[in-house]
Structure 1
Amino acid sequence: MFYLRAFSHSLVHALKNLFPIIAVVVFFQLVILQQIPENTLMMAAGLLIVAVGVALFLQGLELSIFPVGKSLSNQFARKGSVPVLLSFGFAMGFSAVVAEPALIAVAQQAEEISEGKIKALTLRILVAVSVGLVVALGVFRTIFGYPLHWFMIIGYIVVVIITWFAPPEIVGLAYDSGGVTTNIVTVPLIAALGIGLAASIRGRNPLLDGFGLVALAVMVPMITVQLYGIVVYSGETSDPTGLPILTQNGTADQTPVLLGMLLDLAGMLRDVLPIIITILFFQYLILRRGLTNPRKILFGFALVVLGLYAFVVGLKLGLFPIGTSMARQLMSMEGFVFVYLFAFMIGFATTMAEPALIAIGHQAEQAAAGTINGNAIRIIVAIGVAVGITLGVHRIISGDSIHHYIIGGYILVIILTALAPRYIIPLAYDLGGVTTSEVTVPLVTALGIGLASSIEGRNVLIDGFGLIAFASIFPIVTVMSYAIIVEMLAKQRKTDS
């Protein structure tokens, strides 16, 4: 009975997160487009399956991964062994990202659109290794108290340099891969690890030293995926129009339905297995302690697998078709005003409902002891995401190179990092990593692919990806700009008085 109540609560929570998207889509369909799309019932069923999948997944996390992960973090922090803490940080970063639903969705899209040049599993392992290494680096930074801004400035200078040399086919995907690594699984685990460490070490500030792990986890995959693209596309010339787009009905193989479902479930189990192995290894072999409630934890892992499976099925039936359908319908209208309006509204609405953003804002408010207003931060971040997605849509429509936008955006971020007050920098970077939810990412990805496939002369792989990157850059800009303005006004008031 307890589990049923908890599941119903998670389902309502997931439906609330879907509601802003549904509201924006219904408004555009009925008021702007004045038509009902084909396969409406199938899309509605897909959205419901997504909600059920997210609810099962969240419930499974609450029963298994979250409590065990937090318990391990606290035990290792008390143990005080730096090599063990670094190893644990790497293992948790790697295992959480491999099972990230949004990364799975983006990787599958990339493999199909690139006709197999980019391998979904290779991409996911590469991103997971990157996040594992960078979480270990972040743990090292927290333990020894090194300031985050030097890591970020140097890191993004490297990102900008590699972007200049990377092939256009990989740039948008690389930045999207960085944007989706911090999501429904990783944000709570990574944030809890960083804040827990900072709180347990004398002389560390939870706001300055606890935040920042999420930001590092976003940055490094951008570098490694672009290097992967340089290897994959070395010596090739790109065809500007010849890439196919993802079909909405899945692949056309003749695998029996039941066998296909069993294979998909086995795939989901494979995705979650690294987390299970990591937890069992550190719990039994390093700490030499048993799990407190193994049956409940096992049940939680089963819910995680079922939730992931339902989530992916729902994506194919609901969110991907909605994104591509809306893009094509809006592109059929005269002018691009409503395309920009849809991009802005969907960015703002989904971000305001983003649970990870609400959680981080609340944690920041507590850590800052009244210096930061959580609600104000949410609005500023939502405006940043809305502006970023709108600008990304403009890039697709205009056909401009993503290199110039991304390089320009991160040069602006580097400049603001040098000017912003130190207390806001770790939080600003973390907020850039939590703005794209497990629901928003597939819809925004499908919107970009739908736009690129509807405009003559656009390459789906080059132009279709990248919207998530814009959604990650501009919240950093708006939050740091907000902090700079607040500090300037505070100084002005002191001068006047």
Structure 2
Amino acid sequence: MNQIKEFYELLKHSFRNLLPIIIVVAIFQFAVMQQVPEGWLPMAVGLLIVVVGVALFLQGLEMGIFPIGKNLSNEFAKKGSLAWLMIFGFCLGFAAVVAEPALIAVASQAEMISGGHISALVLRLLVAVSVGAVVALGIVRIILGHSLHWYMIIGYLLVVIITFFAPEEIVGLAYDSGGVTTNIVTVPLIAALGIGLAVSIRGRNALTHGFGLVGLAVMVPMIAVQLYGIVVYTLGDPEMVRGAAPLAEAVEDEVVSRVGDSVLLGMLTDLLVMFRDVLPIIAVVLLFQYLVIRKGIAHVHKVMGGFVLVIFGLYAFVVGLKLGLFPIGRSMAEQLITLDGFLFVYLFAFSIGFATTMAEPALIAIGQKAQEAGRGKLNGNTIRLLVAMGVAVGITLGVHRIIVGDSIHYYIMGGYAVVILLTVLAPRYIVALAYDLGGVTTSEVTVPLVTALGIGLATHIEDRNVLIDGFGLIAFASIFPIISVMLYAIAVELANRWRQQPS
């Protein structure tokens, strides 16, 4: 009975979180377009399915993923084996990312648009290995008690330097590849691993040391993919992608047809695909639990039930995306571009950036964990508002870059230069969380709408190359939440100091 009551509360919570998207789309559709969208009924049904999916997912997290992540961290900490912890971190990071649907979609589109110049398989393996390696490194950082800010300052200095030399064809794709590694399952699982490890080691703080793994998992793939791009475009023929823009419509048609086919083929195919995507993570967890730690899982039925709920929640979420969010994003981008001027494109970019982030399940989960770890220093709702504002500003600026045709290099390098400066100035307790929140923003709610908007703009604006201009919006959605959260923490710190001064 308690679980039914909890699920009902989560259902209401999920609906409240999705409501901003519905309001934004309704306002633009009726006040700006002044028409009812075609196929509005399937879209509405899709949004309701998303609500149910998010509720199931959140309940599954609390029952299965969070407990098993913390338990494994505690057991490895008790064993005192750094080598096994690093191996577990690598396997978990690799398994969580290699089958990530958003990464598969981005890699496939990049291969198609580049005419085969970029290999989808190489890109996926490169990103998965990068994430695995960086999760292992992040575990070492927690054990040694190092502050995250030096890792991020040095890492993003490398990112900025490599971006300066990287070909423009790879920059947006590299940043997007980093962004999509942090999905709706990966974020809570990696966060649970970090927090569980920090709590189990004496002298470590859950807020300062437990967060940060997600931030590292976003950063390192950016470096790896840009280095891959430098090699590919230095050794290869850059002219292969110069004429790639006409393929944009083919890519869009391919995505649409896949979405339509999967819905028509029925629920079983999608459900099997969802099991396949989550299976590597379950396999890694069971392998280490029974062969390395050699202990049974406590409350195994509850944990397995949690994983089942996560899978069905994700499945419902993806079906809802296909019926609701994908068509909405594509339809709105196409309609807004036909209007005179770009004012409403900017307004829609800001509004949808804010609304999708407020509805992001992974952000809700991390916000709750941050509030618990902060012990009065942080409020989950305030964090979500700050992150949503950051994403809104970032996507609006990214849309502006596509419209005016500027190079992404200077925007990205300037953005991360500000991030590096704020990392030096911000209170230490907020740094790891801020970087994690930058990664959380690019999950299953935000990516479909933002990707549809970017590719739609690059396709319909004259003299734009989809590979160069269509990608990159996800990167903007990652940078600015880091800035907004750090600025807030600095402002709070200064206000507290001012209040404490003798009058």
Q: Same fold (TM over 0.5)?
A: yes
Most deviating of 329-338 and 390-399: 329-338
CA distance, structure 1, for counterparts of residue 323 and residue 456 of structure 2: 15
Residue 85 (structure 1) aligns with: 85
* Alignment-derived partner of residue 249 in structure 1: 256
Partner of 1:138 in structure 2? Answer: 138
Question: Unaligned 5+ residue runs, structure 2?
Answer: none
Q: Distance in 2 between matches of 1:413 and 1:58?
A: 31
Tell me the CA shift for residue 126 of structure 1: 2.5
Deviates more, 1:204-213 or 1:466-475: 204-213
In structure 2, do the counterparts of structure 1 residues 266 and 487 end up closer, same or farther at CA, with 3 Å as the change threshold? Answer: closer
Match of 2:242 in 1: 239
Give aligned pairs, total: 496
**Is 1:216 matched up with 2:216?**
yes
Q: CA separation in 1, counterparts of 2:11 and 2:108?
A: 26
Offset at residue 280 of structure 1 (A): 1.7
Provide the secondary structure at the position in 2 that maps to 1:250: helix
Residue matched to 1:175: 175
Q: Does 1:289 align with 2:291?
A: no
> C-alpha distance in 2, partners of 1:124/1:55?
30
Distance 1:64 1:325, change over 3 A: same
The farther-off stretch of 303-312 and 470-479 is 303-312
Name 1:98's counterpart in structure 2.
98
Alpha-carbon distance between aligned partners in 1 of 2:381 and 2:261, rounded to the nearest angstrom: 51
**1:441-480 correspondence to structure 2 within 5 Å:** 441-480=447-486
Letter paired with 1:352: M
Q: Counterparts of 1:262-341 in structure 2 under 5 Å?
A: 265-292=271-298, 301=307, 304-341=310-347
Contact 2:70 2:197 in 1 (8 A): no
The alpha-carbon distance between structure 1 residues 255 and 186, as it changes in their structure 2 partners (threshold 3 A), is closer
Distance 1:468 1:254, change over 3 A: closer
8 Å contact from structure 2 (residues 179, 218) kept in 1:
yes
Q: Which residue of 1 aligns with 2:30?
A: 30
Query: 1:363 is matched with which residue?
Result: 369
- Cα deviation per residue 1:73-121 (whole Å; 9 max; x = unaligned)? 2221222211111122222222223344443443444444445544444
CA distance in 1, matches of 2:213, 2:447: 21
The letter for the 2-side match of 1:235 is D
| Structure 2 residue identity aligned to 1:486 | V
The one-character-per-residue Cα deviations of 1:47-82 (angstroms, maximum 9, x if unpaired) are 344445545555555554443333222221222211
Structure-2 residue corresponding to 1:70? 70
On the 8 A contact 1:321/1:446 being kept in 2, the answer is no
The answer on whether the counterparts of 2:65 and 2:188 sit within 8 Å (CA) in structure 1 is no
The alignment's C-alpha RMSD in Å is 3.0
Q: 1:107 and 1:487 mapped to 2: Cα distance?
A: 42
Check 1:355–1:156 CA distance in 2 against 1; reply closer, same or farther (3 A cut). same
Q: Is the 8 A contact 2:93 2:135 kept in 1?
A: yes
* Deviation of the 1:340 alpha carbon: 0.9
Superposition map of 1:85-164 within 5 A: 85-164=85-164
Q: How far is the alpha carbon of 1:307 from its aligned partner? A: 4.8
Q: Which moved more, 1:203-212 or 1:41-50?
A: 41-50
Whether the 8 Å CA contact 1:395–1:402 is kept in 2: the answer is yes
What's 2:405 paired with? Answer: 399
SS in 1 for 2:442: coil
1:153-177: CA deviation from partner (whole Å, max 9, x where unpaired) = 1100111122122222222122122
User: Post-superposition shift, 1:413?
Assistant: 0.8
Does the aligned pair in 1 maintain the 2:101–2:277 contact within 8 Å?
no
Relative to the length of structure 1, the TM-score reads 0.89
Identity between Structure 1 and Structure 2 (%): 69
Residue identity matched to 1:22: I
Q: Distance in 2 between matches of 1:157 and 1:176?
A: 18
Code of the residue aligned with 2:188 in structure 1: it is: P
Q: Structure 1 residues 64 and 490, CA, compared in 2 at 3 Å: closer, same or farther?
A: closer
Residues 264-288 of structure 1, C-alpha deviations (whole Å, 9 max, x = no match) = 5554433222112211210111011
Task: Check conservation: 1:18, 1:439, Cα contact below 8 A.
Answer: no
Q: Is the 8 A contact 1:168 1:462 kept in 2?
A: yes
Letter in 1 for 2:385: I
Relative to structure 1, the CA distance from residue 161 to residue 204 in structure 2 (aligned partners, 3 Å threshold; closer, same or farther) is same
Q: Which residue of 2 aligns with 1:199?
A: 199
Q: Equivalents in 2 of 1:199, 1:108: separation in Å? A: 40
- Amino acid across the alignment from 1:417: T
Shift, 1:222, TM fit:
1.1
1:137-196 CA-to-partner distances (Å, cap 9, x unmatched) read 111001001121110011001111221222222221221222222231122222222222
Q: Does 91-100 or 341-350 show the bigger shift?
A: 91-100
- Give the 3-state SS of the residue equivalent to 1:123 in structure 2: helix
Q: Secondary structure at the match of 2:247?
A: coil
Code of the residue aligned with 1:408 in structure 2: it is G
Is it true that 1:225 corresponds to 2:225 in the alignment?
A: yes
Which amino acid in 1 is paired with 2:467?
L
Looking at structure 1, the residues matched to 114 and 17 of structure 2 have their Cα atoms a distance apart, in angstroms, of 31
Distance 1:6 1:36, change over 3 A: same
Is it true that 1:440 corresponds to 2:442 in the alignment? Answer: no
Whichever residue aligns with residue 282 of structure 2, its letter is I
